[in-house]
Chains A and B, each alone.
Chain A
């Protein structure tokens, strides 16, 4: 079907207006359905922050909590790193089996995609709850919850990386008469290494944040002591904990950005 450019553009403009109107409509409907008063909502935001600022402000006294917070924080970061690294090993292996270019066959590819999406689409909180039944409140429960979700994300990401970045070199090495494993180790893995590392770093950052949440549920790490401080109304200590988490996450992001700059 041929269209004149002006007609096409006019059509497109109309489309955009329609999309914006629909989004606006959904918002209005949502506010009405949830009985959410826009103006009150807006006024409440600064109030909430003011409350946070006053109650959560660490005092000189809260410094005494610092060693304990620090210890738990390290524990949490290690949990995030170990779960991500194990997840990455599992994911790279599965992604090689399941990607379109290195994969076994169409059947295995579909299975792998299914598994990855299953692990990814069950929320972390749900994983923690499920695993709590089996493994009780322990670091291992948190480790497993983070591991399963990371595996889901990383399989998907690694498969796409392999398909995007390795298919051409793979073809070239296959044409030289190289065997499957030679092609994987000599072409695919070296080619995708930077992107893979970049994803692992991102996943570690992400898992530090998530490990905090998981910790509240599994009674471990930084999440656990935040929960304790909060529930025993030691808000200054809870504020201290949040501050420590923020600092560590920012530090981790900075470090991984540096690493990325070197490897990419």
Chain B
């Protein structure tokens, strides 16, 4: 269970980027965060694993507050929270399997991690996860040789090997063609069910959010304006969310 309570953040004085954001997410739920550009979606997502230090509030993962964790505790929190990026953020020069194994670093001693010493089980798990995302034949390829959709699936495998409770995706399909985008969304949805994950994705495509998400959170100017099951997302709400008619996009 992920509980966010009264989250606040401002980058500059008197210009709040987030005001009083609260929501709960149960395991096994695929959540889409939608809202106009600059609304604060990335800020929320990065607060959840404390890549951004927010100003006030609570972020409880199964009852423990991430915000008050010290350095060691934060490392332990972060390894339970996978992250998937718009630009994949892989080490392009390394092989696919090395990139997947990076997801284990949070569990390793500093020295073992620095020299990239992984156990046999870890390597086998990396292979089986690559199979799961459909890249078993690419394990030894350099990431720079992959397509965008394939890179994103490497990113997903990297987050899965963390054995996460939560996966955060910041615009995971914004750089992908429509077919790869569908493919990645379907994968995320299936994985959420299979591993009973909390999967949170920032999306600009409302039709994708409606199609795949169980729960939708709408953010506008740093405030939460909608937090319901995705079939309750109406045109009215979209109009207030985006300040305009975007009904065409729904169809």
Residues of A that sit less than 8 Å from B by CB: 168-169, 171-179, 181-187, 190-191, 193-194
Contacts and interface: CB of A to CB of B under 8 A. Distances in A.
A185 B115 CA distance: 8
Contacts of A177: 74-79, 105-107, 162
B103 A176 contact: yes
A194 B91 CA distance: 12
Contacts of B113: 178-179, 181-182, 185-186
A178 B106 contact: yes
Contact of B89 (A168, A178, A179, A186): A168
Given A176-B102, A176-B106, A179-B75, A193 B93 contact: yes
Interface residues on B, range: 20 to 34
11 contacts: A168-B85, A169-B90, A175-B51, A175-B82, A176-B79, A177-B162, A178-B102, A178-B105, A179-B105, A186-B105, A191-B92
B89 A169 contact: yes
B78 A176 contact: yes
B108 interface: yes
Nearest to B74: A177
A170 to B, nearest CB: 8
B156 to A, nearest CB: 12
Nearest to B108: A182
A179 B162 CA distance: 14
Interface of B: 49, 51, 74-79, 81-83, 85, 87, 89-94, 102-103, 105-108, 110, 113-116, 155, 158-159, 162
Contacts of B162: 176-177
A176 B51 contact: no
Nearest to B85: A172
A51 to B, nearest CB: 52
Contacts of B102: 172-173, 176, 178, 186-187
Nearest to B76: A177
A185 to B, nearest CB: 4
A66 to B, nearest CB: 43
A126 B115 CA distance: 42
A15 B231 CA distance: 58
Contacts of B93: 190-191, 193-194
A182 B105 contact: yes
A190 B51 contact: no
Contact of A190 (B77, B79, B91): B91
Closest 10 CB pairs of A and B: A177-B106, A177-B79, A178-B105, A172-B89, A177-B78, A182-B113, A175-B83, A185-B114, A168-B89, A177-B75
A118 to B, nearest CB: 32
Nearest to B112: A182
B51 A174 contact: yes
Contacts of A172: 83, 85, 89-90, 102, 155, 158
A117 B87 CA distance: 33
A124 to B, nearest CB: 34
B89 to A, nearest CB: 4
B56 to A, nearest CB: 22
Contact of B91 (A171, A182, A187): A187
Contacts of B79: 176-177
A187 B49 CA distance: 19
Contacts of A173: 102, 105
A182 B110 contact: yes
A31 to B, nearest CB: 52
A175 B114 CA distance: 16
A174 B105 CA distance: 9
A190 B94 contact: yes
A1 to B, nearest CB: 23
Given A182-B108, A186-B113, A175 B81 contact: yes
